[in-house]
Amino acid sequence: MGKITLSQVTKSFGDVQVIPPLDLEINDGEFVVFVGPSGCGKSTLLRLIAGLEDVTSGRIEIDGAEATELPPAKRRLAMVFQSYALYPHMSVRKNIAFPMKMANVPEDEQARRIESAAKALNLTDYLDRKPGQLSGGQRQRVAIGRAIVREPAAFLFDEPLSNLDAALRVGMRLEISELHERLATTMIYVTHDQVEAMTMADKIVVLRAGHIEQVGSPLDLYRAPRNLFVAGFIGSPKMNFIEGQTAAAHGAHTIGIRPEHIEVSATEGLWQGRVAVSEHLGSDSFFHVHDTGLADVITVRASGEIGFRHGDTIFMTPREDQLHRFGADGLRL
């Protein structure tokens, strides 16, 4: 129903190639997240799939059928935009009905689908309001409702949660995940927030400058990042990278160790440093350690009970089995 295949797809704006040749397969029913820093081409890639941008070369197939030249409306994809892109002069009901009205769906069928979408998204009481009278989360749900009623082959989300406040974002994240479980439709989700990527995805596609750096399940990426970029991008706080002699001792150009894989102690350990900033979250504490002689700053994560303060001396021991080793070319050894 919603298998999407990109083969050798490129995109140039003038002389600038933003997407170098790229291959990607998205299976039916998968929740795929494109993640990467801003300007990495993830939104462009989504718009290529949507048909809002023309590919410069290459092929896009949807369900095995050539879709490269198809106009957006014919691709049976529904998109949820970052700004929600609701039609401000139409009521919620009319917004949701719009794609069906354009497709000449019979009135009673329209009403039925609006009813069920509104029920699923808790919008029943708001159907006659205008988008301007809704809160951010409600607008987001209307945008999703407008996508659902088209019964598309796949949903495309373009940073849909970036305009919401933190609490709402967590809630909507759950709702979208639940929606995916219920509909079992392919979803492609673009975000720069790796927490969203980790929590929602079946498959994460990490992009940098249009290149796919790695494709895999969230835990694959966390446990075995293919290169330094993925290692640094996935995981929060970031992985620590250490070069020089310490790395050479492990037979690598760079070694990486995640903050949560370092044991801390006030009295003894492999590495020594001075705490510069400590962040206490209650459940966890993060310490930013300077003067280790290894890197500018080493971040460690410890349980919330451990309290170091600014200027304290701290001893750290990395867990050997959790060390990531990278060669001089940045690739995993």
Partner 1 sequence: MSTKASRAAARLMISPSVILLLGWMLIPLGLTLYFSFLRYNLLMPGDNPFVGLENYSYFLTDPGFTAAIWNTLALVLGVLVITIGGGIVLALLLDQPMWGQGIVRILVIAPFFVMPTVSALVWKNMFLNPVNGLFAHLFKALGLQPYDFLAQAPLLSIIGIVSWQWLPFATLILLTALQSLDSEQLEAAEMDGAKPLSRFWHIMLPHLARAITVVVLIQTIFLLSVFAEILVTTNGGPGYASTNLTYLIYVQSLLQYDVGMGSAGGVVAIILANIVAIFLMRMIGKNLEA
Strands 4-13 and 57-62: antiparallel
Amino acid at 199: T
Report the 10 Å Cβ neighbour count for 264.
21
266 belongs to the binding site for partner 1 (CB under 8 A)? no
According to CB under 8 A, which one of 23, 66, 87, 333 is a site residue for partner 1? 87
- In this chain, which of 89, 112, 223, 290 binds partner 1, going by CB under 8 A? 89
Tokens 């050997």 belong to residue? 320
How far is the CA of 59 from the CAs of 10, 22, 62, in angstroms?
A: 9, 10, 10
Angle between helix 166-183 and helix 136-148 axes, rounded to 10 deg: 20
Of the candidates 61, 69, 92, the residue with the CA atom closest to the CA atom of residue 154: 61
Q: Are 211 and 184 in contact (CB under 8 A)?
A: no
Q: What number of residues does the chain have?
A: 333
Which listed residue (42, 93, 141, 146) binds partner 1 by CB under 8 A? 146
- Report the distance separating Cα 259 and Cα 299, nearest Å: 5
Binding to partner 1 by CB under 8 A, coded x per residue (else -) over 8-47, reads: ----------------------------------------
Which residue in 35, 45, 49, 50 binds partner 1 (CB under 8 A)?
Answer: 50
Q: Which stretch binds partner 1 (CB under 8 A): 22-30, 31-39, 87-95, 249-257?
A: 87-95
Applying CB under 8 A, among 14, 64, 132, 311 the residue interacting with partner 1 is: 132
Span from 22-30, 84-92, 213-221, 280-288 in contact with partner 1 (CB under 8 A): 84-92
Instruction: Give the span between the Cα atoms of 36 and 232, in whole angstroms.
Output: 11
Residue 183 binding partner 1, by CB under 8 A: no
Q: Closer to partner 1 at the Cβ: 85 or 209?
A: 85
Token pair of 17 as six digits: 């190639």
Q: How far is the CB of 223 from partner 1 (least distance, A)?
A: 37
CB of 80 to partner 1, least distance (A): 9
In the complex with partner 1, the residue whose CB is nearer, 74 or 319, is 74
Q: How far is the CB of 71 from partner 1 (least distance, A)?
A: 8
Cβ nearer to partner 1, comparing 183 with 306: 183
Distance in Å, CB of 1 to partner 1, minimum: 18
- Buried b / exposed e along 302-332 (16+ C-beta atoms within 10 A): beeebebeeeeebbbebeeeebbebeeeeeb
By the 10 Å C-beta count (0-12 exposed, 13-18 middle, 19+ buried), 34 is classed as buried
> In this structure, what are the phi and psi dihedrals at residue 320, rounded to the nearest 5 degrees?
-55, -40
Q: Minimal distance in Å, beta carbon 87 to partner 1?
A: 6
CB of 79 to partner 1, least distance (A): 5
- 154-158 and 77-80: which strand pairing? parallel
Q: How many CA atoms lie within 13 A of 195 on its CB side?
A: 9
Tell me whether residue 78 or residue 234 sits nearer to partner 1 (CB atom).
78
77 binds partner 1 (CB under 8 A): yes
- Which residue, 104 or 303, has its beta carbon nearer to partner 1? 104
Q: Decide whether 90 or 295 has the Cβ nearer to partner 1.
A: 90
Strand partners, 332: 326
CA distance 58 to 133: 44
Selected binder of partner 1 within 70, 85, 183, 295 (CB under 8 A): 85
The contact mask relative to partner 1 for 97-126 (x = CB under 8 A, - = no) is: -xx--xx-----------------------
Q: Which residues contact partner 1 by CB under 8 A?
A: 50-52, 71-73, 77-79, 81-83, 85-90, 98-99, 102-103, 132, 146, 150
